Structure 1
Amino acid sequence: MQSLFLQQSHDFPFEKIAAIDLGSNSFHMVIAQVSHGQLRITGEFGEKVQLAAGLNDHILDDESQQRGLDCLSQFAQVIEGMPPGSVRVVGTNALRVAKNRYDFIGKAMDIMSHPVEIIAGREEARLIYVGVSKTMDHGDLKRLVVDIGGGSTEFIIGHQLEPFLTESLHMGCVSFRQRFFPDGTITKSNFQKAVTAARLELLSIQDDYLEEKWDVAIGSSGTIKAVFNIVKENNWSKKGITPKCLKQIQKALFSAGHADKIDLPGLKPERKPTFAAGMAILTAVFECFDIKLMDFSPGALREGVLYDIMGRYAESDIRERTVNYMLSQYHIDTEQAKLVTHTALSALAQVKEDWGLNSISSEDLLRWAGLLHEVGLGISHSRYHKHGAYIISESDMPGFSQQEQQALANLILRHRRKFTQSLNFKFTKSDQQDLDRLSILLRLAILLHHDRKEGDMPIFTLKADDKHLHADFLPGWLDGRPLTLANLQSEADYLSAVNYTLTFS
C-alpha cells in the first residue's frame, strides 16, 4: 500500500495533473495540462461502478469492490509515471459510510501509486463549488449550486469564488433507487414517496438557504446533466431546466413504467436504472427552494479537485486559511504557537533525511500541529490535548481530507503525556511510523518552550537513526534551565515505552 506521505517536495507547476473521483455511482478521472496557471482538459474517463449498490449494512460487498478495482486498473494505465502530488484521488459518500472502506482503499492504493483520500460531505460541497465557479462566470450574482450524486446531494450558496453555505445530505440516486425503485418499476406512488422522503431531508437546510437567497440556480454532475441533456435534445427550454420540463420528464417516466422502458431522447442507457430516483430528488429540490430555472455547469467535483491541486502549491491553499481561522476561533496564543512551530520545523530539517520525512505532507502536518497544538485549551487545561484532538477530528476543516484531519488529530493528541495514546483510526504501518516521528519532534519543540519565554530560542543539533534521537545543546545551556532538563528526562521515559530512546547533552 502506498503512503499518505508519499508526496515529494518540488515546485509547481506540473506539466500534467489529474483528479480521480471515486463516486457512489460512477468513478471518473480527468487529466489536464497546466500552462501559465490555466488548465486545459486533455482527457476524461468514467465508468458506472455503482459502488453504493454494493453496500449492505454499511459493508461493501466483494462484487462492488471488484468493479471499482477493475475501473481503477484502467485509470492506473493512464496516470502511470505521473509524479506524486500531481494526482489526487478522492472518495465520497459510499466510502465515507462503508465500515470496510480501508480494505478497499488498501487494494486501490496497491493498484495506483497515489494515496486515496476520503473527503467529508461539506468538503465535497466546497470542491464542487470551486469547480463550478472556475468554469462559469456569473459576475456579481449569488449562486445556488446543487449536485445530485449516487449517495449524497450537495448544496452550496456562494458569490464569485467564495462559498457561504455548504451542506451534504444523505440522499442520492443510487440509495434512492434501492429504497423506492428496487426492481426498476416506476409508478406515481413510489415516485411521490421518493419526492416526499427527499423533502424531509431538505427540511434541515431549507430555512437557512431560503433566508440566504440567491440570484441563479446551477446544477452539476450526473442526474442534472442527464435532465439538462433531455431538455436540450427535446427543445423543451432554451434557457435551462424549468418546473414544466420536470413535469414532462415525469410524464414520460410514468408512461414507461419501468427503468428499462424509459424512452427519452438525450438519456444515455447506463443512466436509466438510477434516473427516476435522481429525478425525484431534483423535483423535491425545485419544490422546496421554489426554483424557476436551473442552468447546468460542466465543471464540478473533478474540476474543483484539479484547481485545488494548483492551490496547494500557491498562496491560495485553503488549508492554510482553515488553520488561520482556527487560530482565531479558539483564541490560541499565536506567539507561543509560532515559537513551537519554528523549533519543530528546525528539528525536522535536521532529521528528515535520516528518518525519511522528506515529503511536503510531513512538513505541512508538523507545521499545522505546532500552530494548533493548544486548540483544546479553549475547553479546559485539564486533558486539553484530548480536547484538541477531538476538535480537530470532528470539525469541518475546508481543504482537509479525513485522513489529513485524523493525522493532525493524532499529532495533537500525543503532543504531551503518554506517547502510547491513539485514536480509533487505521493508518498504514509506514504512515504510523512517520506520525510517531513527527510526534516526537513536536513534543521536543513543546517541552523546549515550556517556560513560554518569547526571546529564548533553543540552539541545538539533532542526530537520528531508526529508533534513536540525540539532541546536542550549546555548552551550559541546560545547566541554567532545570525545568527543561527535567522535562527532557521525563520525555525519555515516555518514549522508552514505544522503544524509542532520547539522549541529550
Structure 2
Amino acid sequence: MNSSVVNQEQELVAAVDLGSNSLRLLVAQVIDTPSGTQLRPIDTLRETVRLAAGLTEEKILGNDAYQRGLVAIRRFGERIRGFNPANVRAVATNTLRVAKNAAQFVADAEKVLGFPIEVIAGVEEARLIYIGAVHEVQSVPGNRLVVDIGGGSTELVIGKGYEPKQMESLYIGCVSHSMRFFPKGNIDAHAFKEAELAARREIQVISGAYLKSGWDQVIGSSGTARALAELIADNQLGGYGDSLSMGRINGASGLITREGLKNLKKYLLRYEHVNEVELIGLKDDRRSVWPGGLAIMLAVFDELNIDSMEVTDAALRLGVLYDLLGRSQHHDMRYVTVEQFMQRYAVDREQAGRVSKLSAEFLSQLPESNAESRSDNIALLQWAANLHEIGLSISHNGYHKHSAYIAGYADMPGFSKNDQARLATLLLGHTGKLGKLANNLAFNDWRMLFCLRLAHVLSRGRSDLSQPQVKVSESKGSFAIELPKEWAKSHPLTEFSLQKEAAEWERVGRSFKIALK
C-alpha cells in the first residue's frame, strides 16, 4: 500500500501485471482534463512467460518458469528504475495465488523489480479488470458485462458506469485449459467438446444470477479476447467482413460474434496438432494456448446467451493505474470496503473511532523505520481498529478469532492478499494471548499490534470521558508507557489490565514497562 499523492503535472505512473500467461508493464502519463483525470499510455512491455505452464501437479512453480519470470521482471525493473514508489503498483494473479512457493518467488521478484508486489485475490482482480476495460470503450446507460480470459483464471464482472457490482473469478484459463484438454498440442473433436463442457460447468454456478442482472453491453478484455477477435477478422470467419473495423466503430478494438467463434472452432478441428494450424495472424506465442481460450469463450457465449462482444486491449494493468490514481485522490476502494463491513456487521462506530484515534496517536509517537511507510501503516492500523469487533456479530466468546476469520477469508475489494493477511493477524492479536503470534515468523507488525492492544485496553470503558495523556516509546522491540499516577489510582481496573498486558508481552520475550508519574 502507498497513500502518497500522485503529482498529476506530467507525472508518470506504472503498472506491472504478473499474469499466468504473460507479464506486462504499462507506463502512462497522467493527464488532468476539465472532464477528469485520464491516462495516456506511453510505453508497454510484454513477456510471454507462461507461469501457469510451469506449475507442477504439486502446485510448485518449476525452476524454468521461475527463472523466466525473474529475467522478465528484471527487465521491467530497469525500465521503471527511479520512479516514485507512490506511482508504481505491481500485482500478481492466479498462478501466484495457488503456487506453494509463491512467497519465495515474490520475494525474489521484488528484489529485481525494485518495488513491492501484491498477490491479489480473484475478486480483486475482477474489480480492477472492470475498471480498466470500461475506461477504454464507449459507455452505455445500463449494465456492462466484462469478460477476461487469462492464463489461469477467467473473470466475469457486471457493473454500471465505472462501478463494478457483481464480480467472479473462475479457475479456468487459456493456459491451464489447454494443458488439461490439449496436452502436447494434440487436437480432436472429443477433447474440444470436453473442454467446452468443463468450462460451462464452471460458468453455470454463476450464470443464473448474472442473467437475472442482465446487461446492455458485453466487453472482452485483454489477450485471449483480442487474439480471437484478430483471428476471426484476419481470416474472414465472422460472416460480415472485418470484425475489427466494426468493433472500432463503437470505440473498442475488435468484435467477437457467436458465428465467428463457431467458424473458428470448425477451422481448428481440421487439424490434429496446434503446430499444423494455418491461420492468418496466429502468433507463435499464442499457438499452444488459444484452443483452451476458444473453448472457454464458446462456453461463456453459450451459458450467458451472448451474441456479440466488443473487445478492448485495456484490462488489469490499466485498472491498476486508475485505482492507483483513485487512492491518490482519496477515492481509495479500501475505505469503501471497510465502511461496508462496518455497516454489514453493525459495528459500534463510536468505539471503533475511539480505538482508531488512540492507536494512530500511539503509532505516531513511535520511531519510524527506514523501511516503513508510516502513512500506510496508520491506514492499516485504523482499518483494523474499525473492524476489530466485527466478530461480535457471530459470538462474544472468542470474537477476535471470528473477526480475524472474516477479514482473512471474505472478499475485500481494494485489499491485496498480503494486506488482508496483515489485517486479519492484527484482529486476531488485538486481545487475548500473544503466544498465538509468537511463532509466526512472517508477522512483523508488533509495533502496530502494541498500539492497537493498548488502545483497546484504554477504551474498555467505551467512553471518551477521563482518557489519560499517555506517552509511549519503543526501543529494540521493547515498549514503555507513561501515564499520570493520579489517573491510574482512580482507575484501578484499567491499571490492573495494563499490568496484565505488560505480563503478556513479557511472556513472548518483549519488555513492557509502565511508568506512573
TM-score bin (small chain): over 0.9
Distance in 2 of aligned mates of 1:424 and 1:177: 42
The within-5 A match list for 1:121-200 is: 121-200=122-201
Distance in 1 of aligned mates of 2:198 and 2:256: 22
Stretch of structure 1 that moved more, 207-216 or 237-246:
237-246
* Structure 1 ranges of 4+ moved more than 4 A: 354-358, 423-426
**Does the Cα contact within 8 Å between 2:4 and 2:86 map onto a contact in 1?**
no
Question: Displacement of 1:137 after TM fit?
Answer: 3.2
Alignment CA distance shift 1:159-1:329 (3 Å): same
The aligned counterpart of 2:105 is 104
Length-normalised TM-score, structure 2? 0.92
Is the partner of 2:151 in helix, strand or coil?
A: coil
Distance in 2 of aligned mates of 1:267 and 1:214: 31
Q: 1:407 and 2:422 equivalent?
A: yes
Q: 1:22 aligns with which of 3, 7, 18?
A: 18
Question: Displacement of 1:124 after TM fit?
Answer: 0.6
**Does the Cα contact within 8 Å between 2:438 and 2:508 map onto a contact in 1?**
no
Question: Displacement of 1:390 after TM fit?
Answer: 0.5
Distance in 1 of aligned mates of 2:261 and 2:302: 11
The aligned counterpart of 1:49 is 49
Q: 2:30 aligns with which of 28, 34, 43?
A: 34
For residues 195-236 of structure 1, the C-alpha deviation after alignment (integer angstroms, 9 at most, x for no partner) is 111111111111111111111111011111101122333335
Distance in 1 of aligned mates of 2:505 and 2:320: 39
Distance in 1 of aligned mates of 2:466 and 2:69: 55
The within-5 A match list for 1:243-262 is: 243-262=258-277
Distance in 2 of aligned mates of 1:457 and 1:32: 49
**Does the Cα contact within 8 Å between 1:137 and 1:160 map onto a contact in 2?**
no
Distance in 1 of aligned mates of 2:467 and 2:138: 49
Long gaps (5+) in structure 1: none
For residues 456-482 of structure 1, the C-alpha deviation after alignment (integer angstroms, 9 at most, x for no partner) is 333222222222222222352211111
Length-normalised TM-score, structure 1? 0.94
**Does the Cα contact within 8 Å between 2:363 and 2:447 map onto a contact in 1?**
no
Distance in 1 of aligned mates of 2:313 and 2:438: 40
For residues 411-431 of structure 1, the C-alpha deviation after alignment (integer angstroms, 9 at most, x for no partner) is 01000111122399773xxxx
Q: 1:334 and 2:349 equivalent?
A: yes
**Does the Cα contact within 8 Å between 2:91 and 2:118 map onto a contact in 1?**
yes
The aligned counterpart of 1:388 is 403
Q: 1:441 aligns with which of 434, 438, 451?
A: 451
Stretch of structure 1 that moved more, 361-370 or 474-483:
474-483
The aligned counterpart of 1:275 is 290
The aligned counterpart of 1:303 is 318
Q: 1:288 and 2:303 equivalent?
A: yes
Equivalent pairs, count: 494
Distance in 1 of aligned mates of 2:434 and 2:372: 19
**Does the Cα contact within 8 Å between 1:256 and 1:263 map onto a contact in 2?**
no
Question: Which amino acid is 2:51 matched to?
Answer: L
Q: 2:495 aligns with which of 452, 464, 485?
A: 485
The within-5 A match list for 1:202-241 is: 202-233=203-234, 234=236, 235-237=241-243, 238-239=246-247, 240-241=255-256
The aligned counterpart of 2:6 is 12
Q: 1:464 aligns with which of 458, 469, 474?
A: 474
Is the partner of 1:304 in helix, strand or coil?
A: helix
For residues 336-371 of structure 1, the C-alpha deviation after alignment (integer angstroms, 9 at most, x for no partner) is 000110011111111143797543221111110111
Distance in 2 of aligned mates of 1:425 and 1:135: 44
**Does the Cα contact within 8 Å between 1:410 and 1:423 map onto a contact in 2?**
no
Stretch of structure 1 that moved more, 488-497 or 346-355:
346-355
Is the partner of 1:44 in helix, strand or coil?
A: strand
Distance in 2 of aligned mates of 1:231 and 1:423: 58
**Does the Cα contact within 8 Å between 1:72 and 1:108 map onto a contact in 2?**
yes
Distance in 2 of aligned mates of 1:264 and 1:467: 64
Is the partner of 2:412 in helix, strand or coil?
A: coil
Question: Displacement of 1:324 after TM fit?
Answer: 0.3
- Identical aligned residues as a percent: 40
Alignment CA distance shift 1:174-1:241 (3 Å): same
Alignment CA distance shift 1:108-1:423 (3 Å): farther
Alignment CA distance shift 1:354-1:318 (3 Å): closer
Is the partner of 2:354 in helix, strand or coil?
A: helix
Distance in 2 of aligned mates of 1:424 and 1:71: 35
Question: Which amino acid is 1:327 matched to?
Answer: M
The aligned counterpart of 1:453 is 463
Note the aligned Cα RMSD (angstroms).
Answer: 1.8
Alignment CA distance shift 1:423-1:230 (3 Å): farther
Distance in 2 of aligned mates of 1:441 and 1:405: 19
Stretch of structure 1 that moved more, 466-475 or 492-501:
466-475
Alignment CA distance shift 1:78-1:122 (3 Å): same
Alignment CA distance shift 1:425-1:494 (3 Å): closer
For residues 385-430 of structure 1, the C-alpha deviation after alignment (integer angstroms, 9 at most, x for no partner) is 1111101001000000000000000101000111122399773xxx
Question: Displacement of 1:104 after TM fit?
Answer: 0.9
Distance in 1 of aligned mates of 2:4 and 2:295: 47
**Does the Cα contact within 8 Å between 1:16 and 1:34 map onto a contact in 2?**
yes
Distance in 1 of aligned mates of 2:219 and 2:199: 19
**Does the Cα contact within 8 Å between 1:27 and 1:46 map onto a contact in 2?**
yes
Distance in 1 of aligned mates of 2:89 and 2:184: 36
Alignment CA distance shift 1:460-1:219 (3 Å): same
Question: Displacement of 1:193 after TM fit?
Answer: 1.2
Question: Displacement of 1:61 after TM fit?
Answer: 0.9
Is the partner of 1:241 in helix, strand or coil?
A: strand
Distance in 2 of aligned mates of 1:423 and 1:266: 57
Distance in 2 of aligned mates of 1:356 and 1:110: 14
**Does the Cα contact within 8 Å between 2:368 and 2:374 map onto a contact in 1?**
no
Is the partner of 2:30 in helix, strand or coil?
A: strand
